Structure 1
Amino acid sequence: MIKMFKKMSLWAVLGAVFFMIIQIISDLYLPTLTSNIIDKGVTQGDTEYILQVGMMMIGVSLVGIVASVFNTLIATREGQKLGRRLRSEIYEKVSYSSNQGFDKVGTASLITRTTNDVNQVQMVTQLFLRLMINAPITLIGASFLAYMRDPELTKIFIYIIPSLIIIVGIVMYLAIPLFKGLQKKTDKLNLVFREGLTGVRVIRAFNQTGFEENRFDEANKDYTQTAIKVNIIMSFLMPVITLIISITNVSIIWYGGHNVANGTLEVGNMMAFMTYAMQILMSFMMMTMIFVLVPRAQASAVRINEVLDMENDISDPETPQQWSNQASLAFNKVLFRYKGAENPAINQVDFEMKKGETLAIIGGTGSGKSTLVNLIPRFFDIETGEISLNGQDVRKVPQKDLRDRIGFVPQKAVLFTGTIRSNLLYGYPDATEEDMWKALEIAQAKSFVEELSDGLDSKVEQGGDNFSGGQKQRLCIARALIKPADVYIFDDSFSALDFKTDALLRKKLKEEVTDAMIIIVAQRISTVVEANQIIVLDEGKMVGKGSHQELKETNETYQEIMTSQLREEQIA
C-alpha cells in the first residue's frame, strides 16, 4: 500500500490534511460552545449570550462544513486519479509484456486485478485522506478535552476502550482471512464466467450447458458462502459497538448526574463530556472500518504490484543497431524452449530466404510451426542461435522497428469491434481507400465486402462474430497485406478457405507481393507446393528442407503427409 500511496500528489495529501484538521478543530470546539451556552447562558437566563454563542456555533459549523467538502473533494479526486493511473499502468504493462508473462497471470485474474483490486485500493485511498487522518486526531483531541472537563469521569474509558479493542480484535481475526480469500474466489468466478462466454458454441455443441451451469454455480456458491460468512461476522460489530456506546452514555449520565447533584460538575460540562465520549467511540468505529478495509486493499495492492513488478524477459537493446538494405531473413542454429519445459520446442533450425521468395512451413500438429514464426517478431526470445532480418539480429533492434517491418496474420482470426475500414486501418493507419480495396482484392475479400450495404463501413461485431470463419480470415489477411512490410507471415491463415479461394489467394500473392518475403504455415500440401523453399518440422526439429519436388522424392516425413492427403495419381 505504501508503494501505491507514493503515487499520490504530495500537495493533494497536504491539502486534504489541512482541511481535515480545520474540520476536526471545528468538531472539537462545538461541544465547548454548547457547554458555555448551557452553563453561562441557559442557567443564568442570558439570552444575548445564548444568541452570541449560537451565532458563533453556526459560524464554526459552516467552517467545518466547508473544510469537510474540500477534504472530500480532494480525497475523491485523488482516489479516482490513483485508480485511473493504476489501470493505465496495468494495461500498459500487460500490453508490453511477453506472452509468457501474460500467460503467467492469466486473463481472468488480470481482469479482476484491473477492476476489483484497483477499486479496493482506490476506496482505501479516499478513506486514508478522510478517516485515517480524522480518526486518530479526533481520538486524541476528544480524549484530552474530555479529561479537561472531568478527570474522574474519564476513568470510564479504562473499561470501555479495552472492551472495544478485544471485540474488534476478535472480529478482525476471523474476518480478515475471509476478506483475502474473496479476492481469489473472485478470480475463480471470473475465470469460469469468461470460459463459459467465450466457449458457448462448444458448450452447446457438446450439450454441456448443464455441466457448465453446475461449474459456475459451484464457483458462485463458494464466493457467496464466503461473502455471507464474512458479513455475518462483521454484522456482530455494529450492534456490539452500539451497545457499548449506550452503556457509556448511561454510565456518564449516572456518575455525571451524581457529580452534578454534588455540585462538583456543571451540567454543560457533562453534556460536553458526553459529546466528547461519542467522538472518542466514533473514532474507534472509524478505525474499525479501517482495520476491515486496509487488509483487503493490502491484498489487492500485492496482486497489483505482482503485475506492475513483473519482469519483461523481452526488452529493447540499450544501443539499437541500424538496419541494412539487405532484404533477407535467416535462422542460424535456433533453439527455443518454453519456460519450465524439458525439451526444446524448436531445435537447431537453419534456413535463409531473400526478397521475393516464399517459404512454406509444414508438419504435424505440435511440431512447432506456429512457435517458429512467433520467434520472428520476438513474441518469444530464443535460447541459442540467431534470427536475423535484413542482416540484423532481431534482438539488437527496437521491437517497434522490428514489428513495423512485419505483416503478421495469427493462427486465430481476430477482428476488433468497429467497421471493416477501422480494422484495415488498424494494420496501417495511413492507408488510402484504394490501398484498402487492393488489399481486399489480394485477400479474396473484395467480392463479399462489395456486396455489403455499407461496404468498408460495414459494422464488425465483437470478435467479428457477424462474419464466417473464412471471411474473418480473409479480412485478417487483408489487414496484414495493407501494411508495407519486408516479410509477411501467414500462420495457418488459409485453413478456413476452400481450395479454390486458397489457390486464387496464393496466385495473387505471387503476382502482387514481389518486393517482400512471404512465410506460409500450412497443413495442406496444396498450399505449399509452389513455395520456393519448404521446411518440414517434426517435434521441433527440421527434418527436411527443399522444394516440393525434392522433398517428395527424398523426405520420408513429407511423403507421409502427402500420402495422407493426396491420392496416388495426384502424388505422381
Structure 2
Amino acid sequence: MRLLWDCLKPYKLAVFALLLFLIIQSACEILLPTLVAGLINQGIQKADADFIETTGIYMLLAAIAAMICSLASGLISARISTRISSDLRQRIFFKVQEFSSNEIDLFGVSSLITRTTNDITRIQTFLLYLLKMGILTPLMMVSGIIMAVFTSGKLSLVLIVTLPVMSFVIAWILASMIGYYRSMQAQFDLLNLVLRENLTGIRVIRAFKQAGHEMERFEGVNSEYTRLSIHTQRRIGVLMPAVTVLMSITTVTVMFFGSRLIMNATMDVGSLVAYVQYINQILLSVMMTSMLFMMYPRLITSLTRIVAVLETRSSVVDGCRPEARIHTGIVEFKQVCFSFPQAEAAVLNNVSFTAQPNQMTAIIGSTGSGKSTIAKLLLRFYDATAGQILIDGVDVRDYTLHNLREKIGYVPQKAVLFSNTVAGNLRFGKRSASREELLKAAGIAQATEFIQAKEAGLDTLIAQGGANMSGGQKQRLAIARAVVKKPAVYLLDDSFSALDYTTDRAVRQALKAETKDATLIVIAQRISTIIHADRIVVLNEGQVADAGSHEELMERCGIYQEIVRSQFQQEELR
C-alpha cells in the first residue's frame, strides 16, 4: 500500500478538497434524519404548517448541497485515480526500458503487458472507489453511530451485536479470496501468453495444421481460468446476500424494540424514524465498505506485481565513465565467457578476437555456437560473466549505455519494423536525418527501387511488424536504418539471410565503401556473405575454433572446411 500513498502525495491539494466536499456531504446526509424527526414530532403531529414549510426548505437545501458535493467529489476522485494510473503506467514503461534482457526474460513479455494494462486498471478502479467511498463511508458510519446513540442509547445495543457479526463474515469471506485472486492473475498471464503466441504464429500453426492442438491448449488454459473465476465469484455471491440479510434482521429488530419504547412513551415516533434512517446509513456504509474490501484482494495482487517490476534493478547498469566516447571503434573480446542465469552450460567460453576499423570481421559457426550472443554482449543486452569486451580500449561496462549504443549500428537477426512510415523507421537511426540522407542509406541497402516503386515513397506506411513488407525488404530497411546512424561500429547479425545472392553481393559492396572508416562485424550463416571478409572468426560450441582469412581457414580449419563444403554442395543441388 506504500506505493499508493507515494502516488497520492503529488495530489495533496486535490485530496484535501475532496475531503472537504465529503465532510460537507456527510454532514448534510446525517442532518436529514434529524430534520425528518422534527418534521414529524413538531410539524405533522402538532399541525404546524409554518414549521413544516421551514423544515422542508432546510431539507431541500441539505439534499441539494449533498448532491453538489457528491458530484464534485466524484469528479475529483475520478481525476486523481486516472492521473495516478497514468503515472504508474508511465513509471512501468520507463522502468522496463532500463531492463536488460535478463529482466525481460524473468518477467516475460506477456506478463509485463498484463501488468502495464490489466493490473493498473484494477488499481485505478480501486482508487476511484477508495477516494469516494473509502472516505465517505467511515464518516457516515461514525456520525451515524454518534447520532444513533444520542437518539436512543437502548436501541444502540443492537449495533453491539450486529456490527461485529457483519465484520467477521466480511473478513472471513475476503480472507479466503486472496489466494484465488493470485492464482487467477497468474493464470491470466498464461492465457495472455498462449493468445499472443497463437496470434503471432498463426501462419506456422495453419501451415502445420496444428489449429486443433492450439484450440485444445487454449481451452485448457481458459478452462482453468474460468474455474478459478467461478470459485471466486461464489464467495462474492455469498457476501452480499449475507450482509443484506444481516441488515434486514437489524432493521426489523430496531423496529420491534422501538415500537415497544413508543408504547411505553419513552420514545417518540419521529425519533424512531430518524433512528431507523441512522441504522440504514450505518449498515449501508458497512455494505459499501464490504464492496471496497471485495476489491482489496485483487488490489493487493496487482500492487504486488507492479511493485515487483518497479523494485527490480537491472543487471545491466550505466558505466562509471560518462565522459568516455567511442571514436575509432576498435572492438576486442578478451577471454569472454557467458552463461544465461540458471543455465547448465556456458554459451561462450574464453572467446577472444579483435575487430579493426576499415576491415570486415565475420563470425560464423553452427547453430547454437554463440554467434548472436556476441552481438548481445557487445550492445550490453547482457553482461559477460567473465572476461572483458573493449571498444577503443575501454571496457563496455564503463561506458554509459547511451554513449555505447549511439555508436553501434545494429541490424538484428530478425528485422524489426515499427508502425510508422518508411522514413520514420529509418530515422530510428538518426532523428534529424534529411530525406537525402535517408535515400542515400536506402541506396546502400539496395532498398531504393522498392521504396520508389510505392506511390508514397518514403512516406509509405508500414503495417504492424512490417506485415506489408517481404522478409528481404524488411532486412534491407533494417540495414538502411543502421547506415543512417553513421556509427563507429556496424554490427550485422545474420542480416543477409533473406536476400538473394545478387542483392547480397550488392549490399556488401556498397557497405564496404560506406564503412571504410568504421568497424564492420558481420555474423552470418552463409559462406558467400563472408568469403571476402578480412578476418573470419569460426565459433564451435561457444569457443573460437580458429580465425583468419577464407584462404587461411580453408588450409587449416576443419570445421570451416566442413561448413564450406556443405553449403557449396547444397548450392550445386539447387
Establish whether TM, by shorter chain, passes 0.5.
yes
Structure 2 match to 1:5: 5
2:23 and 2:389 mapped to 1: Cα distance?
A: 63
Give the letter for the 2:141 counterpart.
Answer: L
Query: Using a 3 Å threshold, how does the CA distance of structure 1 residues 43 and 374 change in structure 2: closer, same or farther?
Result: same
Which residue does 1:358 correspond to in 2? Answer: 360
Secondary structure, aligned partner of 1:460: coil
| Alignment match of 2:135 (pick from 133, 136, 151) | 133
Paired position in structure 2 for 1:211:
213
Matched, 1:262 2:264: yes
Q: Could you tell me which amino acid in structure 2 is paired with residue 101 of structure 1?
A: E
**Distance of 2:571 and 2:179 partners within structure 1:** 71
Q: Is the CA contact 1:323–1:392 (under 8 Å) kept in the aligned structure 2?
A: no
Partner of 2:555: 553
Query: Amino acid of the residue matched to residue 364 of structure 1?
Result: S
Residue by residue, what CA displacement relative to the aligned partner does 1:151-182 show, whole Å, maximum 9, x if unpaired?
11112223322332343234224333222322
**5 Å matches for 1:433-448?**
433-448=435-450
Contact 1:323 1:391 (8 Å CA) reproduced = no
Match of residue 145 from structure 1 = 147
Matching residue within 234, 237, 261 for 1:235? 237
Is 2:410 the counterpart of 1:408? yes
Give runs of aligned pairs for residues 62-101 of structure 1, distance below 5 A.
62-101=64-103
Q: Is the 8 A contact 1:491 1:520 kept in 2?
A: yes
Could you tell which deviates more after superposition, 356-365 or 214-223? 214-223
Number of the residue aligned with 2:48: 46
Task: State the alpha-carbon separation in 2 of the partners of residues 455 and 276 from structure 1.
Answer: 73
TM-score by length of 1: 0.96
- 2:309 maps to what in 1? 307
RMSD in angstroms over aligned alpha carbons?
1.7
Distance in 1 between the 2:386 and 2:164 partners? Answer: 65
Following superposition, the deviation at residue 248 of structure 1 comes to: 2.2
Q: Secondary structure at the match of 2:487?
A: coil
Return 506-515 or 301-310, whichever deviates more.
506-515
Distance (whole Å) between structure 2 residues aligned to residue 24 and residue 318 of structure 1: 57
Cα distance, 1:277 vs structure 2: 0.3
1:493 aligned residue (492, 495, 502): 495
Conserved? CA contact 1:419–1:456, under 8 Å: yes
**Counterpart pick for 1:293 among 295, 300, 316:** 295
Question: Does residue 200 of the first structure (1) align with residue 202 of the second (2)?
Answer: yes
Aligned-pair identity in percent equals 39
Give 5+ residue unaligned stretches, structure 2.
none
Aligned counterparts of 2:372 and 2:181: Cα–Cα separation in 1: 42
Per the TM alignment, residue 325 of structure 1 is displaced from its structure 2 partner at its CA by: 4.4
Distance 1:176 1:380 in 2: 36
Q: Secondary structure at the match of 1:496?
A: coil
**C-alpha displacement of 1:66:** 2.1
Specify which of 385, 390, 393 is matched with residue 391 of structure 1. Answer: 393
Deviation at 1:476, TM superposition (A): 1.0
After superposition, give the CA deviation of every residue in 1:360-390 in whole Å (9 maximum; x if it has no partner). 0000000000001111111111122222223
Q: Does 1:427 align with 2:443?
A: no
Q: What amino acid sits opposite 1:14 in the alignment?
A: F
Using structure 2 for the length normalisation, give the TM-score.
0.96
SS at match of 2:349: strand
Given that 1:117 and 1:300 are in contact with CA atoms closer than 8 Å, whether structure 2 keeps it comes out as: yes
Partners in 1 of 2:365 and 2:319 — Cα distance?
34
* Alignment match of 1:334 (pick from 333, 336, 345): 336
Task: Quickly say closer, same or farther: Cα 1:172–1:499, change in 2 above 3 A.
Answer: same
Match of 1:174 in 2: 176
SS at match of 1:82: helix
Q: CA deviation at 1:569?
A: 12
Map of 1:158 onto structure 2: 160
Relative to structure 1, the CA distance from residue 250 to residue 567 in structure 2 (aligned partners, 3 Å threshold; closer, same or farther) is: closer
Partner amino acid, structure 1, of 2:116: T
Q: In 2, are the aligned partners of 1:321 and 1:396 still within 8 Å (CA)?
A: no
Q: Is the 8 Å Cα contact of residues 359 and 532 (structure 1) preserved in structure 2?
A: yes
CA contact (8 A) 1:359 1:531 kept: yes
Instruction: Give the match's secondary structure for 2:509.
Output: helix
Q: Distance in 1 between matches of 2:329 and 2:308?
A: 41
Quote the offset at 1:429 in angstroms: 1.1
Q: Is the 8 A contact 1:321 1:392 kept in 2?
A: no
1:478 — aligned with what?
480
Q: Residues of 1 paired with 2:28 and 2:293: CA distance?
A: 26
Select between 369-378 and 344-353 the one with higher mean Cα deviation.
344-353
* Alpha-carbon separation, structure 2, partners of 1:334 and 1:536: 15
SS in 2 for 1:381: coil
> Aligned to 2:403, what secondary structure does the other structure show?
helix
Contact between 2:326 and 2:403, CA under 8 Å: does it hold in 1? no
Cα distance in structure 1, aligned partners of 2:209 and 2:327? 57
Question: Counterparts of 1:438 and 1:467 in 2: how far apart (Å)?
Answer: 20
The residue number in structure 1 matching 2:381 is 379
Equivalent position of 1:271 in the other structure? 273
Q: Is the 8 A contact 2:489 2:519 kept in 1?
A: yes
Query: Which region of structure 1 is more displaced relative to structure 2, 231-240 or 188-197?
Result: 231-240
The alignment partner of 2:85 has SS state of: helix
Q: What CA distance in whole angstroms lies between the structure 1 residues aligned with 2:41 and 2:165?
A: 33
Judge conservation of contact 2:546–2:553 (CA < 8 Å) in 1: yes
Cα distance, 1:121 vs structure 2: 1.3
Amino acid at match of 1:290: L
Equivalenced residue count is: 570
Select the residue among 187, 192, 195 that pairs with 1:185.
Answer: 187
Query: How far off its partner does 1:560 sit?
Result: 1.2
Question: Would you say the 8 A contact 1:324–1:391 is kept in 2?
Answer: no
CA–CA distance in structure 2, aligned partners of residues 254 and 15 of structure 1:
42
Residue matched to 2:246: 244
How far apart are 1:511 and its partner, in Å? 2.2
